[in-house]
Amino acid sequence: MTARVSLIDDADESGRSTATLLASLAARLGVLHTVSGGQAVGSITAGIAALGREVSATAEGARLRRAIQTGRPAINGEAIWRTLRIGELATSQPPSPVLDQLRNDVALLLADDLQETLELLPIPPEMTGVRGEQTGDTPAEFLDFVVGYWALSREVVQAIEALAAPTLPPAGAIGQIAPPEPRSPLLR
Amino acid sequence: MKISNDPAGDGPGGSFNEFLRLQTEFQARLLEETVSYLRRLQAAAAPSSPGTVVRPAGDEIVEGAGAPGERIELRLEIENRQRVHCMVTPLLSALVSADGVQWSPELELSMPSLLVAPGDVPVLALGVQLPSQLPAGTYRGTLTLQGFRGSALPVAITVGELPVEAKPPEQAQEPEQPQEPAA
């Protein structure tokens, strides 16, 4: 028997639609004018580390984490992370939901009502509110960040390949380039 | 007030050190709480990124069965009820049998992520290779759809006994010979 699940909107949010995703993207870009570079980078780093903590609980993530943990990269990475206080920077900022943002941006690229929705801008964005306040104070560790970066990068690659897949020409295809245009005195 | 020169704590130095220690601890805690408060405030004021919730159809378990060395397939139907496309990335947790054997399976996927259009119901076929040395039993764990809320689904993989003809020659032909105890 095949198990079945449904992907639905969160009841506490306005849901994923072209309008809400576009408003979210516009708001993210707008916020960049009001926060420092350190805050933006710290928040993204914290978000990647939070993703890494989640993925580290799976078999594949844990295997990758153990492998890195037992080698020189972990020692050197921890030293850089601690000495340059990257962990403090990340831990002091709220984690950015990097995976949701990536998926929402991919969904916008495939939306069939994007042009009409762009004409509706500015659309007021929804704030994170109480959900944001509930983000824990778990310190962002170097290994969390590495595993999260791996998971996010893999998702980026897969997303771009999935976007290209419907119109991707086969590798090794042989075609005919267009012949040169005839010479004409009008084109001089 | 009694003041002694005892460095253990009664002297003026000791009292002052204790005062400094308490002050430092207080300031550090104050800073920590302030940063935490500002962090929560920033998080609450940040623009929301609408997410996805996974809702199982019932109390179903993602199940599979096979013999050691075989490749099995776990199947999961995913219905996208949202109004836009959704990326789905399945991940398996470590699986544990009732005998306490832990197994870290690896999913065989040509595409680790799947792009599901609104209204579509694709079937996600997750190939899992059962190691040839895996003891028989039922291994339980969870299948997670990465990044979704409430996404852990129970998984049960039943591993049967290896058929006699499929066993390695030394095991199949000479089962009576006792094993040498490990040194």
Residue A103: partners with Cβ closer than 8 Å, 6 or more residues away: A155, A159, B52, B86, B87, B147
Can you tell me the mean pLDDT for B20-31?
A: 91
Distance from CA of A120 to the nearest CA of B (A): 18
DSSP class of residue A79? Answer: H
pLDDT value for B150: 77
The count of other CB atoms within 10 Å of the CB of residue A85 is 11
Quickly tell me which residue has 């704030």 as its tokens: A127
Could you tell me the pLDDT band of residue A186, with boundaries at 50, 70 and 90?
low
Distance from CA of A45 to the nearest CA of B (A): 14
pLDDT value for A74: 94
Concatenate the DSSP letters of all residues of A11-46 into one string. Answer: TTS----HHHHHHHHHHHHHHTTTS-HHHHHHHHHH
Q: Please, are residues A55 and B146 in contact by the beta-carbon 8 Å criterion? A: yes
The predicted-structure confidence for A78-130, as pLDDT tens digits, reads as follows 999 999 999 999 988 889 999 999 999 999 999 999 999 998 878 877 777 66
Could A16 and B50 be called an inter-chain contact, meaning their C-beta atoms sit closer than 8 Å? yes
3-state secondary structure at position A58: coil
Distance from CA of A113 to the nearest CA of B (A): 10
Could B42 and A99 be called an inter-chain contact, meaning their C-beta atoms sit closer than 8 Å? no
Per CB-CB distance under 8 Å, the chain B contacts of A62 are: 94, 104
Could A62 and B94 be called an inter-chain contact, meaning their C-beta atoms sit closer than 8 Å? yes
- Which residue, among A23, A114, A103, has the nearest Cα to B85 in the 3D structure? A103
Q: How far apart are CA A103 and CA B86, in angstroms?
A: 7
Report residue A15: phi and psi, to 5°.
90, 170
pLDDT at A135 over 80: no
Q: How far apart are CA B151 and CA B143, in angstroms?
A: 8
Return the structure tokens found at A109.
């690229």
The predicted-structure confidence for B37-64, as pLDDT tens digits, reads as follows 877 777 777 788 888 999 888 878 889 9
